[in-house]
Chain A
Amino acid sequence: MSNLLNVENLEIKFRTADGTLPAVRNISFSVDREETLCIVGESGSGKSITSLSIMGLLPSNGDITKGSIYLEDENLSGKKEDEMERLRGNKLSMIFQEPMTALNPVLTIGYQLREPLIIHKNMSKKEASQASVELLDKVGIPNPKEKLNQHPHELSGGMRQRVMIAMALACEPSLLIADEPTTALDVTIQAQILDLINDLQSEIGMGVIFVTHDMGVVAEIADRVMVMYGGEVIELADVETLFDNPLHPYTKGLLDSVPDVDDVSKEINAIKGSMPSLNEEIPGCRFHPRCPFAMDICKQKEPPTFEVTSTHYSKCWLQEVNQSEPSNTVTST
């Protein structure tokens, strides 16, 4: 276990009025230092829940019912709240989708930026202010000293996202979880933020989990890509392999539904149907009702995770054709 983060057989269930609903079904993955893992999937595929569970911030009706999350050989899933508090912001950090709402409107930038420094590094207010100026400078904000006394509404969306990044990276965490951090930004700012995250990643040497549904962003930033559908990991590969040779029909569908500027004649093929709801029990493969290649076995038996190459995994019966013996072990390194 030399990886930074190891998630093994994770299962998350939600207690609701309709009974317990599984939101994440038995997923395993890992993230290495300086590596960027993109989690891709439609809304409701469990990608945000997976990242929240790593932070230990699942909603109060959600529980990790099985599996484990190891960060540098520490099991996070069994940790108490105050132990998690010491890790959050220190070793684990997170940035959010909406820079507009992720900063408290009544408090100054400086006040919020000082928090992680005061909490984890026991800095005095003055030292923290000094460190905050350096942080803001690092994330490319002009006149950082003035910005400390400004309120969030005085900054643009891109600037606020930079402040969020500065706050998340204040204690140089070993793992950063970015939950669609560029979705709410316009495209030019988006590219800048991606560059910024990339630069800081190699500077600090942290692992990054990047949750998104934008395949363009994936191509830009990912080292490896994990595709999720209905709470399951259906394909995991490094970024070139996934774009060149997508194996799972769902991944193919995702890539086909991205418009191509160079090829106007290309038809956009949307995947028909919609994501199954959490409580819908589908026999066999959870994707088969929408799958154009569905075979008989897909409707009866859940596919195991096939190891295509040592870095490419696909959870689809189609792989059985290419491979005589399926490897049932769900390891992914």
Chain B
Amino acid sequence: MSAVTETEKNINTEKKTTNRFVEVAKSLMKNKLSLIGIIIITLIVLVAIFSPIITSYGPYEQNLERTKLGVGSEGHFLGTDNYGRDMWSRIAHGAIISLLVGLSSVGIGLFGGIILGLLAGYYRKLDSIIMRFVDLLFAFPGILLAMLIIAMLGTSLVNVVIAISIWSIPGCARIVRGSVLSIKNQEYIQAMKTVGASDLRILLKHVLPNCTAPLIVYGTMRMATAILSTSALSYLGLGAQPPTAEWGAMIAAGQDFMWDAPHISIIPGIAIMLTVFAFNVVGDGLRDALDPNMDVNN
């Protein structure tokens, strides 16, 4: 075949081991705040995974002789609650619930949002129908929408997941639709059509990968909202019910002992705060790392 010019050869023999993942991870680490966030998230995940090993009492194990022990008591370094249950064990168990609820609701929400967004962005006829539906969901305040859904379905943690998923759909659908609108007129999509790719193939294999960056950011930020909302709903008595070691429910249960044993409410409060803070900060960091055009720090 035809010869390749020197310049072209030089460009191509230059070995570039550019791995997108490593690149993003590096710039994420450079951001101190998001590094703190990553450390907190890692710790929470580790605590959740190893909670049976790192706790010496079960989360539901009552000891009525040792109730309302303060922080730093012997054998219970975070104290005990009004039934003598180990606070550390309950917090660790709560981490499992929070992470699972967060992951599943964000996962389901993203799945629904991606489908709606792809369809709305790609097919003009579906666009107005889907987006009006999405606008309708947007018009409700989130917590109110969740309460409405739970009021219809009944109070349970599973229904909280459903409610929060539905609440995550509109934001995701908008992000995906926006990306699809700008991507579908690109020449490379036209090029894929000339190769004979079907609409479904183009959408899933060629349009969706271009939307991943904003979706990762949205998903991370959404984790924070989902965890916070789960706690809020449980606090209001609409989510996890009392014996369950869920952070929001624990705050609600500890309210009555605010004067003599404030740690029963404050410790799960701190846990919620740290988790939400960590996910938000990492989400911010990811946005900066994934979008080099937007330099917020400078």
Contact = CB atoms under 8 A, between A and B. Distances in A.
B129 interface: no
Contact of A98 (B4, B9, B187, B196): B187
Interface stretch (B11-19, B67-75, B77-85, B113-121): B11-19
Contact of A103 (B2, B4, B188): B188
Nearest to B9: A142
Contacts of B16: 150, 154
Contact of A94 (B13, B194, B206, B210): B194
B188 A104 contact: yes
Interface stretch (A4-12, A66-74, A112-120): A112-120
Contacts of A55: 194
Contacts of B124: 60
Contacts of A168: 194-195
Contacts of A195: 2
Interface in A134-161: 138-143, 147, 150-151, 154-156, 158-159
Nearest to A55: B194
Given A107-B209, A196-B2, A102 B196 contact: no
Given A143-B12, A159-B8, A102 B188 contact: yes
Contacts of A120: 196
Nearest to B7: A156
A96 interface: yes
A182 to B, nearest CB: 13
A93 B191 CA distance: 9
A101 B186 contact: yes
A323 B29 CA distance: 81
Contacts of B190: 57, 96, 102
Q: For this complex, into which size category does the number of interface residues on chain A fall?
A: 35 or more
A139 B188 contact: no
A249 interface: no
B1 A93 contact: no
Contacts of B201: 115, 119
Interface in B159-207: 186-198, 201, 205-206
B195 A142 contact: no
A106 B209 contact: yes
Given A102-B187, A104-B188, A85 B12 contact: no
B12 A159 contact: yes
Contact of B195 (A89, A106, A189): A89
A92 B193 CA distance: 11
A279 interface: no
Given A96-B191, A103-B188, A189-B5, A154 B18 contact: yes
A87 interface: yes
A167 B196 contact: no
Nearest to A139: B1
B294 interface: no
Contact of A115 (B5, B11, B187, B197): B197
A102 B194 CA distance: 11
A94 to B, nearest CB: 4
A142 B12 contact: yes
B3 interface: yes
Contact of A156 (B11, B187, B188): B11
Given A106-B209, A154-B18, A192-B2, A88 B194 contact: yes
Nearest to B193: A57
Contacts of A87: 196
Contacts of A96: 187, 190-191
B196 A90 contact: yes
A55 B196 CA distance: 10
A205 B2 CA distance: 18
A262 to B, nearest CB: 26
A164 interface: yes
Contacts of A143: 12-13
Contacts of A140: 1-4
Contact of A88 (B4, B195, B205): B195
A85 to B, nearest CB: 5
Contact of B191 (A102, A158, A159, A192): A102
Given A138-B1, A192-B3, A104 B195 contact: no
A164 B191 contact: yes
Nearest to A137: B1
A266 interface: no
A85 B196 contact: yes
A98 B198 CA distance: 23
A13 to B, nearest CB: 20
B210 A106 contact: yes
Contacts of A147: 12
B12 A101 contact: no
Contacts of B12: 141-143, 147, 155-156, 159
Interface string B80-114: 00000000000000000000000000000000000
Interface string B209-226: 110100000000000000
A188 interface: yes
A92 B190 CA distance: 14
A101 B1 contact: no
A187 B4 CA distance: 13
Given A93-B195, A102-B190, A155-B12, 12 more contacts: A88-B193, A103-B188, A104-B186, A104-B206, A105-B210, A106-B210, A106-B212, A112-B192, A116-B195, A119-B196, A189-B5, A192-B4
